[in-house]
Chain A
């Protein structure tokens, strides 16, 4: 069964259905979108069940000739990393639709358009992780910008157009560098046995170290902007601040993962030597991201901005894990990508509800919500705890794996990064104190608690956060072989216990 193309076609079909609906029937559009995303989610889970977890090769491989004269194929396939991320994306999609039931109202265009954009975006989210042809990957990588651009610019708030343009410019700049590198790879492949965009074949290319370094940078900067890694991060707070909460979830939860996913799939695989050359630099950038994002989050006055900054910190952890080159750090980083999707989703969705009820996103405008809207407050609190990596919640497992794995090879980096956990406590507890605790401030007395739809949306997210905190094994068992494979391909093995030099 052609699972992957089916997965990609389903949301498109949903989009077609939504677009065929009569004008003005918003409810039907929402229901169709929700139904589609649920079907996709079920299909993805069905696919994931059949995944052979000890097989490190690509699975569910499909390939169709697309532009034969350039050797371009519509080639799909997943390894464990891609599978996990696709799973995350497709689980998040219905949650986002359900949670943001009313966020399309008041946009520049119709509600129908909003859901068409979301569904098209879902197709691309699946495609970008499943693509095994570099050209296909690039096309989707760039094409994803289009729906997001319209989602931010058309349905956001505040300076949405400026934010959308900033997002687009940053991403296009990175994409341009990557395009140059991709063309270079293509040309070189022509000189070494036939033009191709196939990743496997491209990874066999022989190139000088200078070439490899340059091409690596082309890819890495594109992914670092996407991820985002300091100092390429400034688009994220603006975009997250202006986008609707649902869009922000997809933006931070899924789209940004393309960056870190790309680092593993493309940077490490295609340019192993250059990766090693640049690892010291990248590790430093990652550590800076961790602390920098945390500090900015501590000082943030706007709740959406705060969440965006925390994500910068978390992406620092992911990047650090990827380049630390130990199986713990690698597994941790991959697991972190999955977990971060959910903890950020929870934070953003609840923050979105808070903001839509209060009509303000300034933290200082809230106060004493715990007594007015206990369920909403608790949801936010648990999401926050997950974000600060409290043991027993999912982020802890991944964050600790990253730290412990990094420590075995880069103790200094790991130690500095660990200071991030104290800062994390601050950046979560400060808004918790200001918004949820304290006396109920004027303007908050009559806020309504979560309704059934919202509870239904947030419950699975929190369930996943808690469940994976206590029992991450099912995911880890899928991830581990892939992570170990990446490490061994790079020629690394886990450092043996040093016994402290005895």
Chain B
């Protein structure tokens, strides 16, 4: 493996930015955002430099590593602070720093009126550093550091406006649910160490063949729990919608493009584990399928533009997870969809931010309408992202999503058919709710509040949107041209069971997919474009819509199953601690006290009763002697 000594700069630059801004305090208010953007951009630069270096090297020499220092060495548990940059992580590095830098630029303008802008940029840099650590760590434990680091950054950014209690709660909820996932990662690391004696990616990969399938399944499932927590997959998906409390650039960067895809990264990174644990893979696929439908259904009912996009994100990550669960064929497609999704979803989120910026931070789509004329650039960039997510050729989503649908069908048998149909229906629903978003926002009649003065955003904001739109248009083609990404990632994945022959011809799958998408678009068109849309959400809707509006009862479920019993348990324990545990101790004291006051009655002050007691005592003594003698 190639030894590099420049990898650390990828992380060190944004980390330094965050440190300077946080420690520097108000002094850095003036230029803090510029520094942060520069740090992010230079990290991107380092990433590009690393990519060039990598391209220069022969295939088997491409992965580069750097050992920084000895981190935790105890007995056989040896973890160094080491970085690993291979074909997989470089994709992420470029996505994170690239999209990250764009969003830094966007935020300069978007956050210009916020007096805490410096802090915002510090958090952004902290996030970039943590996320890079996540994808660059050479062991599960190093990944874990980044894993929780992004959780922290996400917590800070969701709660950036934490003076609003609801936002503070949302950030806490995100962190705690992420922690549930983190627990899964802890378990996975523990099992890996107990069974294989190592926690580094390389070490685990070497040990897989010597390890029982049961252990690998356990590791795989625990990794899946971790991935579900971070990527808002079923059943740990509830936090993502609330996470939209954060400023919109945050939603674009963390909750659409990068952090939430970390789960997919984890599964892909652990491909060697999953390849050897079919049961775990199956569960991955099931979770992916459930989530993609779950997210899609929620998306149909949301009037909040950001929440609709968040539901869409959840659903799209469901696609990726599903693909990642389909084995060696699926990993590359999962990553491809992840990258294209990073472009178009970030673009759309920024578009949503641009709309909100022009509409006094209104998020209810029912209060939009006919914004096309007022925000042409936003409309175009958002529209390109829309076409991409629908999977219309030749936009990016077409390449990535169709491949996933194909692969789903290729899984074969009943599984293949179920998965294929699920993905197709998901695509159709996606088309429906995205069309709904487009129509409600940009076309139709004005339904604005009176004080709204929609206007196009400044160039600092639309430039990143434009760049991302270009990505949404072209990335799919570029990445799949000549199977570029597949070939690039090829050395990382196990291809022992080579490509199966397609069960259904790709062109047929594409046809089916496009048909489904067309149906979705058409339904949305007839429902929203041909009818008047009211500016308040209608109440006389079907039970399904009501349920979907409440995120399919996910919060109710969590509340009923975890929160309330947990609160009851806490209250009971506190009472029990006072009454039982402390009470037992105080009870002993009480017994001593009360026996004391009972015995005090004997000390009545009368010499004669003392004498009587002495007499009784003497009898007892003599009786004792008598017993002993006889």
A405 within 8 A of B: yes
A44 within 8 A of B: no
A499, B195: Cβ atoms closer than 8 Å? yes
- Report B118-165 residues with CB < 8 Å from chain A CB: 141, 144-145, 147-149, 152, 155, 159, 162-165
Task: Known contacts A400-B186, A421-B179, A422-B179; decide if A496 and B69 are in contact (CB<8 Å).
Answer: no
A207 within 8 A of B: no
Which of B75-83, B314-322, B467-475, B520-528 is the contact stretch? B75-83
A419 within 8 A of B: yes
B162, A425: Cβ atoms closer than 8 Å? no
Task: Known contacts A437-B163, A501-B215; decide if A401 and B145 are in contact (CB<8 Å).
Answer: no
B16-58: CB near A (< 8 Å → 1, else 0) gives 0000001000000000000000000000000000000000000
Residue of A nearest to B81 (CB): A470
A473, B73: Cβ atoms closer than 8 Å? yes
A408, B194: Cβ atoms closer than 8 Å? yes
A2 within 8 A of B: no
B72 within 8 A of A: yes
| A292 to B589 CA separation, bound complex (whole angstroms) | 24
Q: A residues within 8 A CB of B574?
A: 296, 299-300
Q: A residues within 8 A CB of B194?
A: 404, 407-408, 411, 495, 497-498
Name A499's contact: one of B163, B168, B211 (CB within 8 Å). Answer: B211
A439, B573: Cβ atoms closer than 8 Å? no
A418 within 8 A of B: yes
A425, B179: Cβ atoms closer than 8 Å? yes
Task: Known contacts A391-B145, A433-B168, A499-B210; decide if A472 and B71 are in contact (CB<8 Å).
Answer: yes
B190 within 8 A of A: yes
Which of B169-177, B380-388, B446-454 is the contact stretch? B169-177
Q: B residues within 8 A CB of A371?
A: 163
A438 within 8 A of B: yes
CB distance from A485 to the nearest CB of B (A): 12
CB distance from B548 to the nearest CB of A (A): 28
| A419 to B562 CA separation, bound complex (whole angstroms) | 13
A434-472: CB near B (< 8 Å → 1, else 0) gives 000111100000000000000000000000000000111
B71, A438: Cβ atoms closer than 8 Å? no
Name B212's contact: one of A368, A407, A422, A501 (CB within 8 Å). Answer: A501
Query: How many contacts A-B (CB < 8 Å)?
Result: 182
Name A483's contact: one of B72, B74, B144, B193 (CB within 8 Å). Answer: B74
| A234 to B582 CA separation, bound complex (whole angstroms) | 6
Task: Known contacts A392-B149, A407-B190; decide if A501 and B214 are in contact (CB<8 Å).
Answer: yes
A230-243: CB near B (< 8 Å → 1, else 0) gives 11011000000000
B182 within 8 A of A: yes
Q: B residues within 8 A CB of A170?
A: 585
| A298 to B172 CA separation, bound complex (whole angstroms) | 13
Q: B residues within 8 A CB of A400?
A: 72, 141, 186, 189
B614 within 8 A of A: no
A480 within 8 A of B: yes
B618 within 8 A of A: no
A421, B182: Cβ atoms closer than 8 Å? yes
Name B145's contact: one of A230, A392, A405 (CB within 8 Å). Answer: A392
CB distance from B259 to the nearest CB of A (A): 15
Task: Known contacts A331-B74, A473-B73; decide if A497 and B573 are in contact (CB<8 Å).
Answer: no
Interface size on B, residues (CB 8 A): 67
B613 within 8 A of A: no
A50-81: CB near B (< 8 Å → 1, else 0) gives 00000000000000000000000000000000
Q: B residues within 8 A CB of A405?
A: 74, 77
Q: B residues within 8 A CB of A437?
A: 159, 162-163, 165, 168, 171
A473, B211: Cβ atoms closer than 8 Å? no
Q: A residues within 8 A CB of B172?
A: 429-430, 432-433
Name A408's contact: one of B73, B187, B193 (CB within 8 Å). Answer: B193
A385 within 8 A of B: yes
CB distance from B552 to the nearest CB of A (A): 23
A494, B573: Cβ atoms closer than 8 Å? no
B204-230: CB near A (< 8 Å → 1, else 0) gives 000100111111101000000000000
CB distance from B280 to the nearest CB of A (A): 13
B370 within 8 A of A: no
B70 within 8 A of A: yes
Residue of A nearest to B209 (CB): A502
B577 within 8 A of A: yes
Q: B residues within 8 A CB of A438?
A: 162-165, 168
Q: A residues within 8 A CB of B569?
A: 295
| A328 to B72 CA separation, bound complex (whole angstroms) | 10
24 contacts between A and B (CB under 8 A): A230-B581, A234-B581, A300-B574, A327-B74, A328-B74, A331-B75, A391-B149, A405-B74, A407-B190, A419-B183, A422-B183, A429-B155, A429-B172, A432-B172, A433-B168, A437-B165, A438-B164, A438-B168, A470-B81, A496-B197, A497-B198, A499-B212, A500-B213, A502-B211
Give 4 new A-B contacts, CB below 8 A, not counting A234-B585, A331-B74: A296-B577, A390-B152, A438-B162, A471-B71
